[in-house]
């Protein structure tokens, strides 16, 4: 399946990128993992949510948490967004951010991607262009689009609202939109898009 690797829109010299805020999604049920994924600790005793929040903070002006659930004391100072009415799952978290702060763009990250690295986030943000409303990368190994480690301009709210109105709760469908670009993730950054849903997944990333 082909992807939109470059923006099919004309560049405008007057375009100025808006500030980037980070939105860390922590609202999942974690049924397959058997415990809250965002509170899983690595070998150094750092929780996944703390590690991902720190990575987001390196490239974002502000970081907020979207979803309910306990958070470590070290992150108690971060803003919290509740889910919006009529939506569920990641779509609710993404729309909550887009509705709450309309003058910024959003770097969205799920809490089950413990190998996120700031360099991968910088690559993602480097895709910003005039006329582009979001970047949803394509994973070269799975050939799947990754809406939960992606960047969305404020204008993309229109697309997500339309998705919600259609009755769909799957944010992954956003990649089909014309103003969303879908570059392939460079192989060196693919670990950042490795999500962990089961204890077996943890063992796999630990052994690599």
Q: Considering the domain boundaries, does residue 130 fall inside one? A: yes
Q: Is 10 inside any structural domain? A: no
Helix (H, G, I), strand (E, B) or coil at 47: strand
CB atoms within 10 A of CB 86: 11
Residue 53 falls within a domain, yes or no? Answer: yes
- Which comes out higher in pLDDT, residue 70 or 63? 63
Residue 107 covered by a domain? yes
- Max Cα separation, the chain? 51
Q: What is the CATH number of the domain that holds 186?
A: 3.90.550.10
Of the candidates 83, 106, 84, 98, which has an alpha carbon nearest to the alpha carbon of residue 28?
83
Higher pLDDT, 167 or 204: 167
0.75 exceeded by pTM: yes
Provide the number of structural domains found in the chain.
1
Least reliable range by pLDDT among 22-31, 55-64, 93-102, 158-167: 22-31
User: Domain limits at 190?
Assistant: 20-206
Q: Using an 8 Å Cβ cutoff, are 25 and 111 in contact?
A: yes
Residues 179 and 155: their CA atoms lie apart, in Å, by 10
Is 4 part of any domain? no
Q: Is residue 15 part of a domain?
A: no
């Amino acid at each position: 399946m082909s992807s939109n690797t470059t923006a099919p829109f004309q560049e405008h010299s007057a375009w100025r990128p808006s500030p980037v805020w980070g939105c860390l999604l922590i609202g999942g049920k974690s049924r397959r993992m058997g415990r809250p994924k965002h509170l899983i600790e690595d070998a150094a005793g750092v929780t996944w949510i703390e590690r991902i929040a720190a990575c987001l903070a390196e490239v974002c002006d502000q970081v907020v948490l979207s979803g309910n659930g306990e958070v470590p004391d070290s992150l108690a100072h971060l803003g919290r967004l509740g889910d919006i009415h009529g939506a569920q799952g990641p779509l609710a978290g993404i729309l909550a951010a887009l509705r709450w702060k309309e003058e910024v763009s959003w770097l969205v990250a799920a809490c089950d991607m413990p190998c996120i690295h700031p360099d991968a986030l910088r690559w993602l943000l480097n895709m910003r262009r005039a006329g582009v409303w979001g970047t949803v990368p394509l994973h070269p190994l799975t050939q799947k689009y990754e809406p939960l480690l992606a960047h969305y301009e404020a204008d993309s709210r229109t697309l997500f609202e339309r998705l919600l109105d259609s009755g769909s709760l799957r944010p992954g469908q956003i990649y089909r939109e014309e103003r969303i670009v879908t570059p392939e993730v460079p192989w060196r950054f693919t670990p950042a898009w490795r999500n962990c849903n089961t204890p077996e997944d943890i063992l796999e990333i630990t052994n690599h």
